[in-house]
Every structure is written in C-alpha cells, then in structure tokens.
Amino acid sequence: MKRVWQWGLKALTAFDWPLLILLLIMAGCGLVVMHSAVGSTDWRFADQSRHFMVAFLVMWAVALVPPPWIMRFAPYVYAFSVLMLLGVEFYGESSKGATRWLNFGVARIQPSEMLKISVPLMLAWYFHRNQGSGLRIVDFLAAGLLLAIPFLLIVRQPDLGTALLVFAAGLSVIYFAGLSFKLLVPVTVLLAVALGVVLYYEDQLCAPAFDWVVLRDYQKHRVCTLLNPGIDPLGRGFHTIQSMIAVGSGGLYGKGYMLGTQTHLDFIPERTTDFIFAVFAEEFGLYGGIMLLVLYALIILRSLAITVIAPTQFTRLVAGSMSMMLFVYVFVNIGMVTGILPVVGVPLPFMSYGGTALLTLGVACGLLMGVYRYRPDRV
C-alpha cells in the first residue's frame, strides 16, 4: 500500500502545474471553438475530445520518464524514424497528390510527424555527447547533416509544412548548442535579397510558363497567391481571401459565439483544421485574438523558463527546441491565415482538429515537464 501511495505521489509531481493549467485553459478554448467550427457536437467534436484525452495521457506518461532514459534511446528512435521515412519513399500510400503515409493494414501512420520529436532529441544527444571535447565547426556540419536527411525526405513527399517544423526544431537545437549568430547573418541577408527579387519580378516569376526549378508547381502557386490572392480568387486564392475576410469582419469584439457568417455559411473550407483561427477571430474579434496570443505567449515563456533551469546540456537543448517548435507552430499558422505567409498546412496548436498533431504536442509538453522535474541528484 505504501508503494502504491508513493507511486501515486510521484505521478502527481510529474506535472509542471503552471504549464499544465495553461494547457488545460488552451484545451478548453480549443474544444469551444471546435464546437462552433463544426456547428454542433458531431463526430469531429467527439473525436477531438478523445484526442485531447489521449494526448494528456501521453504527456503524463512521457513526463514520468527520466530524461537520461530518453537520451539513451534517442539515436535508436531517430534511426527508426528515418527508416520509416524511407519506407514512405518506396512503399508509401498516396492521397491528394502527396505520398506521406504508411499503411500497415490495421492502421495508417504519417512517419514525418515522428521527426518533429526525434530530430531535436537526436541533435540534443549528439551535442551533449560531444560537449566535453569542445564543439568544432565539423560538429555543426555533422549536426546539419543529421537534420538535412529527414528534412529532404519530408520535402520529397511533399509536405512543406511538416518539413518546416522539423527544420525549425532542429535548427533551434543547433543554435542553442552554440552556433554563432554571425553565421546566420549571411543566410538572413540572402533570404531578404531573394524576397526582394520575388517582389520586384513578381509578374515574370508568377507567369504560368515560368519554371522555378527548386519548387513544385503547387508551391510556386502558393507563393504567388500570397503575393496576389486576387489572381485566382475562386481557386488557389480562395482560402486566403476568405480567411482574411473572416478575421477582418470580426472587428474589435467579434460577431459572437457561433454567429460567424463566414464560418457557418461554409466560406472557410478548412475551418476545423488549418484555418480554425479564422473561426476564432471572426467570433471573438481583435480582443479575443489578442487574448489567445497572450495565452500562447505564456505557454512559450513557461517553456523557455523550464529551459533556463534545465540541469544538463541535453535537457536544455530538448526544452529549448520544444519551446521553439511551439512558437513556429503558432507563428506560421496565424501568418498563413492572416495572409502574411503562404499556406503550408501547419495546424494551430491545441485548436486545429487532428489526433496526430495533438499527440506530437502531448509528447513535446511531456518532455518539458520531464525536464522540469528532473534533477541529477534524484536519480
């Protein structure tokens, strides 16, 4: 009986309560908005409720695992994830022009989701293992290769949204490990110049006959649609235009819960997934949108606070990468809904419908909580 009591106490102390409270508030907001987005408590609302419960249990389980155990298995998880990506490359199942899934008969999985977690874990393991000898430029090049392999495999599927999240999580580990900011300046300048060229030569670059070579046609169209959504208002630009109308029509206070016309007249095609922020902004307005962003900011700041107190190189890098992954999720999704970024299929954390994304977020938050409760002298 005493042992059961001790285990129960340990299970309760696995949580970082400030982060848990913020996540519960966010989950409540997510279910409220999902109820409005689907118009009732239909199967999608019920599914999303189950997804939240599964994600919570996964978060709890991961939080109970000591970070040294996770570090020990990180290379094997990374290798398995890359092998699964190779399986998609040769034996994947295609849908809507993309090959992203492996069908095992009893279940169909999207292996690229695993890389959002396994890549930062692998890079954190690598830098932790090499910190004693002093990091050299060759170490950063090796880390770049470990990141580039899954990134390029995911881009080939194609799945630019997931590839972007994997790249952001991996790059944050490399940066937090000690990559000089000076090395990022030339890349930033190059991107700024490229953006300027695209803006200046928009008409020529977006001409139907012009081949961008490095991008597929649908990716080229997404960039061109971002620059001028009105070029195809009933086709490629429809999502962006309707989401911006929904966000703008909400005004300061919003139209009221379940009273959004763009939402309930079916003008927002993907209103339960990638464009759910448009539903929220239309019904709760500018003030509601600001409060949601404040809630996300508090979650990210709490995650960064856990990063600061992390006791080892591995735990610091893992917590930092999970924090940055959450930031990129929010930034990219709201950016594409409001028309400042191209549509790349990134869900809004804890709001968009989908079990796989919630499961990934559950693992990420579980890792953060595990880092919070870990102290080397306790193990």
pLDDT of the residue at 379: 45
pLDDT of the residue at 235: 67
Tens digit of each residue's pLDDT, the chain (379 residues): 555 455 555 666 678 889 999 999 999 999 999 988 887 667 788 888 899 999 999 999 999 999 999 999 999 999 999 999 888 888 877 766 677 777 776 667 788 888 899 999 999 999 988 876 667 788 888 999 999 999 998 888 878 788 888 998 999 999 888 877 777 778 778 878 877 777 777 777 777 777 776 666 766 777 777 667 767 666 677 778 888 888 888 888 889 888 888 887 778 877 888 889 999 999 999 999 999 999 999 999 999 999 999 989 999 999 999 999 999 999 999 988 888 888 777 889 999 988 888 999 999 999 999 999 887 765 4
DSSP annotation of 347 reads P
pLDDT of the residue at 7: 53
Between β-strands 108-109 and 93-95, what pairing exists: parallel, antiparallel or unpaired? unpaired
Using CA atoms, how far apart are residues 295 and 136, in angstroms rounded to an integer?
39
DSSP annotation of 98 reads E
pLDDT of the residue at 270: 78
pLDDT of the residue at 321: 93
Contacts with 333 (C-beta within 8 Å, 6 or more apart), sequence order: 274, 277, 346, 347, 348, 349, 352
pLDDT of the residue at 373: 87
- pTM passes above 0.75: yes
In 3D space, the residue among 125, 84, 76 whose CA is nearest the CA of residue 315 turns out to be 125
Strands (E), the chain: 93-95, 98-103, 108-109
Structural domain spans, the chain: 14-64+248-379
Contacts with 108 (C-beta within 8 Å, 6 or more apart), sequence order: 93, 101, 102
Using CA atoms, how far apart are residues 145 and 10, in angstroms rounded to an integer?
39
